[in-house]
Structure 1
Amino acid sequence: MKDKIQKDSFRNPENEKDLQVGTIADLDEGGAFLHEHGFTHDSLQALLNDEARNKSLVRKVDLVLLPLLAGTYVLQYIDKSALAYSAVFDLFTSTHMSSNQYSWLASIFYLAYLLAEYPWNILAQKTRLAKVVSGNIVAWGSILMVTAACSSFTGMAICRFLLGIFEAPITPCFMMIVGMWYTRDQQPFRAGIFYSCNGLGAIIGGILTFGIGQIHTIAVWRAIYLILGGVTVAWGIVMFFFLPDDIISAKRFKFEEKALLIGRSRLGRTGVMNHQIKWYQIREALVDPQIWLLFSFTLCNEIINGGVASFGKLIIKGLTDDPLKTCALGIPLGAFQVFYILSGTFLASRFRNCRTIIMPLYLVPTIIGTCLMWKLSHETSKVGVLCGYYIVGAYVCSLVLSLQMPATNLGGYTKRSTGVALVFLAYCAGNIIGPHAFLAKEAPLYQTGCKVILACASAQVVLAILLRLLLISRNRRRDAQAAADQAGAGPQSEYDELADLTDFEVRSG
């Protein structure tokens, strides 16, 4: 009853004409929600001006969403890395697999990821996003458990391919969730919080596999897959019941809280949700230079990641013959990654328009660490090689910012979804290419792999500079357009911010 009274207090039939300017059909679902329930521009602005209410709401959103996103990311990283953990135990002998075949297992995962990612994105947009996510978590957990029964490269390859299929929608959907629920300034750090759980996953995964390594009743690598798969299936069921599909259908938020969340989204003029696929927005995404710069940046970044993630444990194994010690020495890398991601994304949220400065800055430790691993002796300078391995992971901060930028910068739900998908295609392609730069005959130095990492990191610095110049130019045009609107007749409607318009349409006024 209280919600009903509060809801009606914002209705004003005389002011409903504020929402009648323009075509209601052009509003996204957030705008349609406000129109349907009689929220006017003034009543919505009153909510936005209530600073205490806004802070309380952000805390509530954090408590509802971030534990779910973070928990999923911890499991996703550990599950995805199960292959690397297994490689330091008895995987090769149990499956009669060669190092070259192992490289292909790493690539097969991302090939499947590449093929499935955009179809999952379309399905998530047209149906229920959270149910797509939770269903896939249960599916990939089941595949992990099936993997434990494999005894050949063929069986491992099939399971690895299916694992890539079912993990494909997770990160793109999570970036869209962050873009939906948070303002532009809040998005980088929130994305950083859940993505930093890759590092937390590395820590937990290392400790977990160290413990599982004590098992002697079953092959250690099979025990890893069985245990991780069971935990993941249970987590998928939790996600099914607790992750909201979108703002409008979220059951744990009151009516005014939903209205305020929708109103906050208009600050970035990127919309909330629209289940209609708009083909002109897909075409616009394909000709936007910003997306292709981010595509190239992410491709280079993930070539680095594909090699480091797949062969990092084997680099450490070259320093010691003890597989348990190899797991233990890999744990600090996770802590370094947590620090890099949280510090970089915090700075990106704290200081406006600095993301394209932070992106190349956090590549410097990667360049230094790669040089240490390449040039230092793996016999006499083991500590130096380890330090180089630990600081190489700084590139993940640049990755988080590049993955999150399409959801932040692009307007129009279909364009934003397409931009996210294209950047994740680069993410997949890089991870497919990366492992093949690490040649088995060059172990444990992997000279070719180190050269490829250095080349990719250097290219990313140049791409980040070009991206910054492009965005500065666009911001200037946007500010000039805003000044012209204020000096002239103004925008067509007070609720244009809630229309499902692309960033190009918004700039053209």
Structure 2
Amino acid sequence: MEIDKKPPVDDTINEKDVQIGTITDLDEGELFLRQHGYNQEAIQALLDDEPRNKALVRKVDLVLLPLLSGTYMLQYIDKSALAYSAVFDLLPSTNMSSEQYSWLASIFYFAYLVSEYPWNMLAQKTKLAKVVSGNIIAWGSMLMITAACSSFTGMAICRFLLGVFEAPITPCFMMMIGMWYTRAQQPFRAGVFYSCNGLGAMVGGILTYGIGQIDTIAVWRAIYLILGGITLVWGIVMLFFLPDDVISSKRFTLDEKALLIGRGRLGQTGIINHQIKWYQIREALMDPQVWILFLFTLLNEVVNGGIASFGKLIIKGLTDDSATAVALGIPFGGFQIFYILGGTYLASRVKNFRTVVMFVYLMPTIVGASLLWKLDHEKYRIGVLFGYYIIGAYVCSLVLALQMPATNLGGYTKRTTSVAFVFFAYCAGNIIGPHAFLAEEAPIYQTGVKLILSCSSAQAALAVLLRFMLARRNKQRDAAATAIGQVESSIAQSAGADLTDFENPNFRYVL
């Protein structure tokens, strides 16, 4: 990237960072500071201004969170359109079998799997918000097209393309949260937009219940047409109002941008770098932390794949009325909001508490799955329903696991690669999960429920392993820093460089 001709204010640029007028190894936030004359003293003065910091965080919240939250609510409702339609007249209208329905759930995540990393690379190289907004418009359009399908083949094609267009949303949102907030603030902000899955479950249930009263066209077609139209309009709103990054946003002053970059420096993770660095990709794939998060997310989404696709059919087994089954599913969303906001708030407020929350919030899932498995679904309908409501606590653990790569790794390319890699597991788990729910075992689905118990128990062990590994890394780095004597200027210098956590001895992991 070309730099301004005026000399940099800070003279701590390494020789390797300057090559014929081009700075290659600095984070672009650091370049912005140097080009506009912000030295370390000026940044520290901004960071010490507590009222200014609080006002800026409120402004970022108002600009960013409503857009992310609204998108996430619609994404959940749109992904659930298949499940809502199955409760009504989708299967007989399209002559689909239960096995074909299971494949529709998986096809979506096959598309996710192949599309996610290319979208992520495009978002890094170009404009992140424009990639997101364009895909929202495309997936809304695809929902409306789905209403014209009359067979499994047509549904499968539309479902695949829907997965292609939804693939970049969550990884890009996690990178946005990592860009705009400090590490301490990131879990709760990620929880705010992710909890809109729960809000989506509630709003989607109410909306679908109302659509279910339509008798002029097939209910499932009306579901896809109405939801697709809403999403299409929302995508246009996002196109105009979602900022691409801190540096290019027109809603913030120079001082506000400098302060946001300075706050990003505190965690040694940087803000943004459009240059793809292949060695950081290799390092991401060799990092045990990334692999633990990969396995954790894989197991989590095996659980989610089953619950998302068959949860409403479990409820339908408790009542003979389709509309009542949809209505009984609404509290599930409320429970998810409670779990996600409660858990991510604790993770943000209590230092090094994230892996503890990841562990604890798997316990209700284990209890809920046990109730679904062991209780008689005819005699203890309320107990079964309660088990279904509390089983969704695992989503809080997922939010923290998905947010961890953007928070807990250095180097922009390493972070984007790790976020994408963990989302590969997200896709694979959702592909696997629905196939453990066997049609002949309805409405209890014993095999699927036993798989949920196994996966959530293994996740709990992985959360403990992750905590011990990160604590050990921090202890080793603290000992090394004490031995050589850590210099404050070197900490500031490394914060401005696009270094990975392995390269940067000043980097500390959050637990």
TM over 0.5: yes
Provide the rounded CA distance (Å) in 2 between the counterparts of 1:463 and 1:494. 34
Q: Which amino acid aligns with 2:170?
A: T
- Contact 1:19 / 1:40 at 8 angstroms: preserved in 2? no
- TM-score, structure 1 as length reference: 0.96
Aligned length, in residue pairs: 496
Q: Which amino acid aligns with 1:126?
A: K
- Contact 2:8 / 2:34 at 8 angstroms: preserved in 1? no
Give the equivalent residue in structure 2 for 1:298: 297
- The 3-state SS of whatever aligns with 1:200 is helix
CA shift for structure 1 position 489: 5.8
Please give the per-residue CA displacement for 1:364-407, whole angstroms capped at 9, x wherever unaligned: 10011111111111111110100000000000000000000000
Give RMSD over aligned pairs. Answer: 1.4
Note the residue ranges of structure 2 that are not aligned, 5 or more in a row: 1-5
Give the equivalent residue in structure 1 for 2:462: 463
- The 3-state SS of whatever aligns with 2:492 is coil
Distance 1:69 1:59, change over 3 A: same
- The 3-state SS of whatever aligns with 2:182 is coil
Provide the rounded CA distance (Å) in 2 between the counterparts of 1:14 and 1:112. 48
- TM-score, structure 2 as length reference: 0.95
- The 3-state SS of whatever aligns with 1:504 is coil
Q: How does 1:158-169 map to 2 (within 5 A)?
A: 158-169=157-168
Give the equivalent residue in structure 2 for 1:41: 40
1:494 correspondence with 2:487: no
- Structure 1 outlier segments of 4+, above 6 Å: none
Give the equivalent residue in structure 1 for 2:323: 324
Distance 1:168 1:455, change over 3 A: same
Q: Which amino acid aligns with 2:137?
A: V
Provide the rounded CA distance (Å) in 2 between the counterparts of 1:150 and 1:58. 46
Q: How does 1:328-407 map to 2 (within 5 A)?
A: 328-407=327-406
Select between 471-480 and 258-267 the one with higher mean Cα deviation. Answer: 471-480
- Contact 1:189 / 1:346 at 8 angstroms: preserved in 2? yes
1:289 correspondence with 2:291: no
CA shift for structure 1 position 20: 4.0
Distance 1:17 1:219, change over 3 A: closer
Q: How does 1:74-85 map to 2 (within 5 A)?
A: 74-85=73-84
Give the equivalent residue in structure 1 for 2:206: 207
Q: Which amino acid aligns with 1:438?
A: F
- Contact 2:491 / 2:506 at 8 angstroms: preserved in 1? no
Q: Which amino acid aligns with 2:239?
A: F
Distance 1:248 1:146, change over 3 A: same
Q: Which amino acid aligns with 2:320?
A: D
Provide the rounded CA distance (Å) in 2 between the counterparts of 1:286 and 1:104. 30
- The 3-state SS of whatever aligns with 2:502 is helix
Give the equivalent residue in structure 1 for 2:3: none
- The 3-state SS of whatever aligns with 2:245 is coil
Q: How does 1:9-158 map to 2 (within 5 A)?
A: 16-20=9-13, 22=15, 23=17, 25=23, 26-158=25-157
Q: Which amino acid aligns with 1:417?
A: T
Q: Which amino acid aligns with 2:120?
A: N
CA shift for structure 1 position 478: 2.6
Distance 1:508 1:269, change over 3 A: closer
- Contact 1:18 / 1:40 at 8 angstroms: preserved in 2? no
- The 3-state SS of whatever aligns with 1:505 is coil
Provide the rounded CA distance (Å) in 2 between the counterparts of 1:129 and 1:286. 23
- Contact 1:362 / 1:395 at 8 angstroms: preserved in 2? yes
CA shift for structure 1 position 352: 0.9
Q: Which amino acid aligns with 2:126?
A: T
CA shift for structure 1 position 480: 2.6
Distance 1:489 1:207, change over 3 A: closer
Distance 1:372 1:259, change over 3 A: same
Please give the per-residue CA displacement for 1:144-163, whole angstroms capped at 9, x wherever unaligned: 00000000000000000000
Please give the per-residue CA displacement for 1:24-79, whole angstroms capped at 9, x wherever unaligned: 52211100001111111111110011111000000000000000000000000000
Identity score, percent: 72
Distance 1:359 1:20, change over 3 A: closer
- Contact 1:48 / 1:54 at 8 angstroms: preserved in 2? yes
CA shift for structure 1 position 270: 0.4
Provide the rounded CA distance (Å) in 2 between the counterparts of 1:152 and 1:47. 60
Distance 1:73 1:493, change over 3 A: closer
Provide the rounded CA distance (Å) in 2 between the counterparts of 1:488 and 1:274. 27
- The 3-state SS of whatever aligns with 1:319 is coil
Please give the per-residue CA displacement for 1:318-355, whole angstroms capped at 9, x wherever unaligned: 01110000010000000000000000000000101111
Note the residue ranges of structure 1 that are not aligned, 5 or more in a row: 1-12
Provide the rounded CA distance (Å) in 2 between the counterparts of 1:181 and 1:226. 35
Provide the rounded CA distance (Å) in 2 between the counterparts of 1:254 and 1:187. 22
Please give the per-residue CA displacement for 1:399-455, whole angstroms capped at 9, x wherever unaligned: 000000000000000000011011000000000000000000000010000110000
1:506 correspondence with 2:504: yes
Give the equivalent residue in structure 2 for 1:9: none
Distance 1:172 1:488, change over 3 A: closer
Q: Which amino acid aligns with 1:143?
A: M
- Contact 1:18 / 1:494 at 8 angstroms: preserved in 2? no
Provide the rounded CA distance (Å) in 1 between the counterparts of 2:248 and 2:346. 33
